[in-house]
Amino acid sequence: MSSATTARSTQVTVELRVNGRTYPVRLDSTTTLLDALRDDLHLTGTKKGCDQGACGACTVLRDGKRIVSCLTLAAQCDGSEITTIEGISEDGHPHPLQEAFVRHDALQCGYCTTGQVMSAVALLREGRAGSDDEIREFMSGNLCRCAAYPNIVAAIREVAES
């Protein structure tokens, strides 16, 4: 979106399916999924940390796999099932990873946290929580400048073992 010149822009209509709900949206073809989520759908739990795919703060699930939503065009997601932090609680109960993150203080400022949690949800599904070192490696795409890293590992380990 940042380099879009409006004069050359093309509007497209996309059906975004997010957290089980369908949102028909009309947006510029260059709009990223991240901006669509935040600006058009007002789902601001997904954060923008770099807009360059380098920090992981904007991590969401697309058809169950973790992606950085800042490097994904919204128009590419027509027909995909997107899951954001707003969509992982069940029956009003927080996801076990959300509970574990709080219990282990796996966050400080909290800005990267939703991306960390989404990445961890996918990591468990990928079967990459076999050891602390494996968790560290496969969570290394999610930066945390407050450096809650050891507590993030502890939170994920606890859920993986339960």
Partner 1 sequence: MTATLAKENVIGRPIDRIDGRRKVAGAAPYPSDFDLPGQVHAALISSTVAAGRITRIDRSRAEAAPGVLTVLTHDNAPALVDPPQNALGSTMRRPLRDDRILHYGQHIGIVVANTRAEALAAAKLVEIEYAEEDPVLDLDDPRAAVEDNPFGMASSRGDVPAALAAADVTVDGTYTIGAEANSPMGLFTTVASWQGGRLVVHDTTQAPSFLRIALSVMFEVPEENVRVLIPFLGGGFGAGLRLWSHTVLTTLAARVLDRPVKLVLSRPQMFHSVGHRAASRQRVQLGADRDGRLTALDHDAIAANGMGDNLPSPIVAVTPATYACANVATHERRAHLNIPYTGFMRAPGAVEAHFAIESALDELADQTGVDPVELRLRNYAEVHPESGKPWSSKALRECLEVGAQRFGWAGRDPAPRSTHDGDQLVGQGMAGASFEFYALPCTVRLAVDRRGNATVRTAGTDIGTGTYTITAQITAELLGIDVENVRVVIGDTDQPPAPQSGGSGLAGALAAAIQNAAGELAEQLARLDGRPGESFASLLDRHGLDELAVTGYSDLAGAATHSDVAPAGAFAAAYAEVGVDEELGVVRVRRLVSVIDGGRVFNAKTARSQAIGGAVMGIGMALLEELAYDPNSGRVANGTFGDYLVPVNLDVPDLDITFVGEPDTFNPTGGKGLGEIGIVSIAPAIANAVHHATGRRIRDLPITLDKML
Q: Which residues bind partner 1 (CB under 8 A)?
A: 1-7, 9, 28, 30, 38-39, 42-52, 54-55, 57, 84-86, 89, 94, 98, 101-103, 105, 107-114, 117, 133, 135-137, 139-153
Nearer to partner 1, 15 or 102 (CB): 102
Structure tokens at 73: 């065009």
If the CB atoms of residues 79 and 146 are measured against partner 1, the closer one turns out to be: 146
Nearer to partner 1 (CB atom), residue 77 or residue 117 = 117
Cα(25)–Cα(60) distance, integer angstroms: 19
Is 93 or 161 the residue whose CB approaches partner 1 more closely?
A: 93
Residue 32 · residue 75 · CB < 8 Å = no
Name 51's Cβ contacts closer than 8 Å, sequence gap at least 6. 2, 32, 34, 70
DSSP letter at 34 equals H
Residue 1 C-beta: closest distance to partner 1, Å: 5
Least distance to partner 1 from the beta carbon of 154, Å? 11
* Count helices and strands in the chain by DSSP H and E runs: 5, 5
